[in-house]
Structure 1
Amino acid sequence: MNDILIAVILGIIEGLTEFLPVSSTGHLILAGHLLDFTGEKEKTFSIFIQLGAILAVVVFYWRRFLTIMRFNFKEGLNIIHIICAMLPAVVVGLLLHDLIKEYLFSPRTVVIALAAGALLLIYAEKKNHKVSTEDLDELTYKQAFRIGLFQCLALFPGFSRAGATIAGGVLSGANHKTAAEFSFLVAVPMMVAASGLDLFKSYEVISAADIDLFIAGFFSAFIVALIAIMSFLKILSKVKLTPFAYYRFILAAVVAVFMF
């Protein structure tokens, strides 16, 4: 299959799955193996096209980002909330980055993470918890930090950053919409930093001939992610997290049967 077509397919998969609690990285690893698009370049490509999905968040929430960047700490969501949510995963990610990329990017680890993440989604949905936060501006620093701790789980490929943070938000007392929107906002600095670090460490595996490939994946991820963000918030308010958990179980089982 043509490499540009593969890039577009993977970009569409990234855009569809990045903000759903189903693991975009897991889907990209599995799709890469099915399309015979593997290796160091594929790993870097998969991380780079996440920037396309992240750009969609910036476009969709540009007013909110402008408010955050005014550094107003007196009321509402501000930069400190974002920092509190970033710190745990940044520290753990810097310590384990090389080990994760070398040993955990495989279908076998994705299957395990898909199932583990599904259990977390079900637990978050079934646990009898009181909703104390119904808007982003009501989120506390403590809640933001707790969500950040859950985000560390997403360093395991296939667990899902969105799944971990949304479940963490719900378990911290936020309603589903607030948890999802905070997950989107935190994703921007987290993934820009992670992608920047990975590109810096992996620049040697990328050549000028790969530029078209990366651009095709980037823009297809951006366009699809814009649509996915709007759709997901509407779907989440109706179906909650459990259906996504069941999907993860089914996907893990199918992969286990056909690949092992």
Structure 2
Amino acid sequence: MLELWKSIVIGIIEGLTEFLPVSSTGHMILVGNAINFTGEKADTFEIVIQLGAILSVFVLYWRKVLRLFGIKDKNAPVSESGRSLNLLHILIGIVPAGLVGFIFRDYIKELFMPETVVIGLVVGGIFMIVGEKWNPPAKAKSMDDMTYKQSFYVGIAQILSLWPGFSRSGSTIAAGMLSGATRGASADFTFLMAIPLMAAATGYDLLKNFSVFTRDDLIPFATGFVVSFIVALLAVATFIKLVSKMKLTYFSYYRFVLAAIVLLVLVF
């Protein structure tokens, strides 16, 4: 049975870290190991409650989601390019990671351990610094200015985030900047793209592991989901603005320090 207090703690961690390029999965793995919240149920729980945080993005981005289906807000600003983000951009962005994640799902879940998180934190941090330091002049000022090619580059980079600790938002924002999008445009595209991707991953994981859960797990599961949603909803607006304006380099420094601390704990 999942313990209620542990599901609340993990839900808070997920809500606070999902929208920062520090790896919410990595943090949940580290905290989960620290409080003895591990095993097949815990791994599935950590994936599913991410949907709670992602739902908060839908609350914030619902107008942009409707625009993907051709339902436009007359008061919405027009992009400099005159283009508008559409469903094909999203599809191009999610297919690479979705396909790789589906094929190698079982192997990826075996990587859910502190040792692999340390590697992901460091390598992901380096990739973010590269994205911040060597990005070309931005041609895509907003998410609507992004091309299909840029969406594809972001989608390929998202494969890296399947390694725990690498960070989905960190890898995709860095890739967006390297492809010629601003930090803000890359962040907006990253968060919007997360909605269908995480919904699909959550649904598949629930169906795949439904048999391992009991009726007693329902309340802790639902509690963690709700906590993740509420915490993320309170934090999402601030964090998205922070990620859009704050250099990825600073988040990389945090990742390096956290990796060093975890490594010291593992060694000693």
TM norm structure 2: 0.92
Match of 1:42 in 2: 42
Q: State the alpha-carbon separation in 2 of the partners of residues 66 and 128 from structure 1.
A: 31
Match of 1:9 in 2: 9
Match of 1:127 in 2: 134
Q: CA shift at 1:209, angstroms?
A: 0.5
Q: Deviations over 1:10-64 (max 9, x none)?
A: 1110011111100000000000001111101100110110010011011111111
Q: Does 1:59 align with 2:67?
A: no
Q: State the alpha-carbon separation in 2 of the partners of residues 147 and 8 from structure 1.
A: 32
Query: SS in structure 2 opposite 1:66?
Result: helix
Match of 2:90 in 1: 82
Query: SS in structure 1 opposite 2:208?
Result: helix
Query: Does the CA-based 8 Å contact 2:19-2:240 persist in structure 1?
Result: no
Q: CA shift at 1:136, angstroms?
A: 1.3
Q: CA shift at 1:177, angstroms?
A: 0.9
Q: State the alpha-carbon separation in 2 of the partners of residues 71 and 156 from structure 1.
A: 36
Where does the alignment leave 5 or more consecutive residues of structure 2 unmatched? 73-81
Moved more, 219-228 or 208-217: 219-228
Q: CA shift at 1:71, angstroms?
A: 8.3
Q: State the alpha-carbon separation in 1 of the partners of residues 23 and 135 from structure 2.
A: 25
Moved more, 139-148 or 4-13: 4-13
Which amino acid in structure 2 is aligned with residue 152 of structure 1? I
Where does the alignment leave 5 or more consecutive residues of structure 1 unmatched? none
Which amino acid in structure 2 is aligned with residue 205 of structure 1? V
Q: State the alpha-carbon separation in 2 of the partners of residues 197 and 71 from structure 1.
A: 29
Any residues of structure 2 matched to 1:220-259 within 5 Å, and which?
Answer: 220-259=227-266
Which amino acid in structure 2 is aligned with residue 70 of structure 1? G
Query: Does the CA-based 8 Å contact 1:71-1:78 persist in structure 2?
Result: no
Q: Does 1:69 align with 2:69?
A: yes
Which amino acid in structure 2 is aligned with residue 147 of structure 1? V
Which amino acid in structure 2 is aligned with residue 50 of structure 1? Q
Q: State the number of aligned residues.
A: 257
CA root-mean-square deviation: 1.5
Give the % identical residues.
Answer: 50
Is the alpha carbon distance of 1:210 and 1:128 closer, same or farther for their aligned partners in structure 2, counting shifts above 3 Å? Answer: closer
TM norm structure 1: 0.95
Q: Deviations over 1:204-226 (max 9, x none)?
A: 11111111111111111111112
Q: State the alpha-carbon separation in 1 of the partners of residues 25 and 240 from structure 2.
A: 21
Q: CA shift at 1:259, angstroms?
A: 2.0
Query: SS in structure 2 opposite 1:49?
Result: helix
Q: CA shift at 1:241, angstroms?
A: 0.6
Which amino acid in structure 2 is aligned with residue 230 of structure 1? A
Q: CA shift at 1:233, angstroms?
A: 2.7
Q: State the alpha-carbon separation in 2 of the partners of residues 242 and 48 from structure 1.
A: 29
Query: Does the CA-based 8 Å contact 1:147-1:168 persist in structure 2?
Result: yes
Q: State the alpha-carbon separation in 1 of the partners of residues 99 and 58 from structure 2.
A: 24
